[in-house]
Amino acid sequence: MSDTEPGPAAEVVAAGGVVVRSGADGPEVLVVHRPRYDDWSFPKGKQDPGETDEETALREVAEETGLSCRLGPYLTAVRYRDNKLRDKIVHYWRMEVETSGPFSPDDEVDRLRWCSPAEAATLLTYAHDRALLGQLED
């Protein structure tokens, strides 16, 4: 490769959480609606320079949901091509809520929904998100 040819695009690194709480009829998971894509997913986002994967996951969940969480077990990494055709890896942890702050809908996330894992499976837009639900069983 010459000095003028662009190198391969760097992989986009992101992290997020499958936030779980006890509900009246069993465990509930939090899903978010992203108006830009009109999809339902788990809260996640891109890593800032110098952040660890864990720091990214906690920050992104807090920014998108208003929830301060604690990390549970690492679930998995999901790889795919994003809408800009870049390779992307997203690291996910199971999380539990420590404190609830206000949720402020914006152009990134405009709705939150707590639902059973079965409901989440029908609501989530992407197969890789639905596959994460199977990782929750202890």
- Strand (E) or helix (H) holding 16: strand 12-23
Domain spans of the chain, in order of start: 12-133
Distance, CA of 109 to CA of 84 (rounded, Å): 19
Note the pTM of the prediction, 2 decimals.
Answer: 0.89
Alpha carbons 33 and 26: distance in angstroms, whole number: 23
Assess contact for 129 and 37: CB atoms under 8 A.
no
Q: Tell me if residue 59 falls in helix, strand or coil.
A: helix
Sorted by sequence, the CB contacts under 8 Å of residue 118 that are 6+ apart come out as: none
Q: Which residues sit opposite 12 in a β-bridge?
A: 88
CATH class of the 12-133 domain in this structure: alpha beta
pLDDT digits (tens, 9 = 90+) for 90-128: 999 999 999 999 999 999 999 999 999 999 999 999 999
